[in-house]
Amino acid sequence: MEHLLNPHVLEIEISGIRKFSNMVADIEDIVSFTIGQPDFPTPEHVKQAGIRAIEENATTYTHNAGDLALRKAAAKFAETKYGLSYKPETEVIVTIGASEAIDIALRTILTPGSEVILPGPVYPGYEPVIRLCGAVPVYVDTRNSQFKLTADLIREALTNKTKCIILPYPSNPTGVTLEKRELQEIADLIRGKELFVLADEIYSELAYDMPHASIASFLREQAIVINGVSKSHAMTGWRIGFVFAPEQLAKHILKVHQYNVSCASSVSQKAALEALTAGIHDSEEMKKEYRKRREFVCKKLAEIGLHYVKPDGAFYVFVQLPKKYKGSSFDFAVEMAQKDKVAVVPGSTFSKYGEGWFRMSYACSLETLEKGLLRMEKFISNLN
């Protein structure tokens, strides 16, 4: 019966990150730097808000777009942190994580044959949704631009079929981000063109060296901003994300959301409300710790003799394979996991432009990082 299925579904594959992580999970004593999962617990006051929601029977449907109090808090958060202005009643949608937000936004704007420009390497979650819409992902090689999707690169990739440009910054897998000047150049290039920008800003609260800036500050009418509490508040399992978009666009995205999931979890919404109000600065302590880990990891990688891109945000570092290694990034990751019990994600997972690199997550303790990096050093020193 498989031949009767939607061909677009048959063509897509399970995420390479999950696939590889599952492959090495059963190796005894493995040190895993694979999944982008904060190792901090959800803040206690946020958990208590979720418990209270259950005890007070806040377990019914909410408005399709989400509880208005949460939408107001999300709008205020975006304004306070990033200077963005969205009407909570009509321009904010609460979703089941950033993943659903991306899905409903792309399904609203894409048509069969339309093209979506995205940087390579990039998080593998966008392409399957694009293909399910019958649209075409157009990867742009960013290896010679410090892994940044610049205005010049976009200009070269634009066609009369371009419907959307994806700006996923701070980036998974590279950790790089775009400066205000670079965002302004992109906005100037595409302003007035019949296309959208999807800005996946889920790591916005984990920007280390400069305040996060959003393309929506420069190009509000064409921008769809994706965010959420998964990374900022260590709430991955609560599944709360947000779509911020102009009213004339948001009302159509809401229709897709409504028929997809009705609404996000009411209990999780109460916890997210606490996170964005009383916990508006909760990410600061986590960010300090991530910054320490970044410095530790980068110093150790340099000592090992590996070339890497120093991340501006998120909690990943993108590392080039040792020059003496002649196999693929997948082979490298498999061999290192099997021989010295440390797991990283092959760069090829993030498009062909990630080949020759690997992604390492530092969302784990300094002790774990030290243990894994010592194993990595041993593996590399023993390469023929």
Res 5: pLDDT:
92
- Cβ neighbourhood burial of 77 (10 Å; 0-12, 13-18, 19+): buried
* Joined tokens for residue 14: 């399970």
Of 48, 203, 4, which is closest to residue 123 (Cα–Cα)? 203
Question: Using CA of residue 311, residue 317, residue 323, residue 326, what is the dihedral sign?
Answer: negative
**Alpha-carbon torsion (238, 222, 107, 248), positive or negative:** positive
Residues of the chain with pLDDT > 70, as a percent, come to 100
The distance of Cα 35 from the centroid of its chain, to the nearest Å, equals: 12
- Radius of gyration of the chain measured on its C-alpha atoms: 21
**Across 261-266, average pLDDT:** 98
Beta-carbon contacts of residue 338 (< 8 Å; ≥ 6 apart): 27
Q: Is the pLDDT of residue 261 over 80?
A: yes
Q: Is the pLDDT of residue 331 over 80?
A: yes
Residue 332 CB contacts under 8 Å (≥ 6 apart), including other chains: 321, 325, 346, 358
User: CA dist 259 to 63, 228, 360, Å?
Assistant: 13, 21, 37
Q: What domains appear along the chain, each with residue ranges and CATH number? A: 2-41+282-381 (3.90.1150.10), 44-276 (3.40.640.10)
pLDDT at 304 over 90: yes
Confidence of residue 22 (pLDDT cuts 50, 70, 90): confident
Residues 107-158 pLDDT 10s: 999 999 999 999 999 999 999 999 999 999 999 999 999 999 999 999 999 9
- pLDDT of 21 higher than 90: no
pLDDT above 80 for 101: yes
The angle at the Cα of 78, spanning 86 to 99, to the nearest 5 degrees, equals 90
**What tens digit of pLDDT does each residue of 166-216 get?**
999 999 999 999 999 999 999 999 999 999 999 999 999 999 999 999 999
Q: Which two tokens stand for residue 124?
A: 């593998």
Mean pLDDT, residues 156-163 taken together: 98
Mean pLDDT score, 301-328: 96
* pLDDT reported for residue 24: 77
Tokens, residue 190? 């595409």
Largest alpha-carbon pair distance within the chain? Answer: 63
**3-state SS of 56-121?**
CCCCCCCCCCCCHHHHHHHHHHHHHHHCCCCCCCCCEEEECHHHHHHHHHHHHHCCCCCEEEEEEC
**Mean pLDDT taken over the chain:** 96
- What per-residue confidence (pLDDT) applies to 27? 85
Given this model, what pLDDT does residue 115 score?
A: 98
pLDDT band at 26 (very low <50, low <70, confident <90, very high): confident
Whether the per-residue pLDDT at 18 is higher than 90: the answer is no
Average pLDDT over residues 342-367: 97
Contact between 24 and 337 (Cβ < 8 Å): yes
Instruction: Output the pTM of the full model.
Output: 0.96
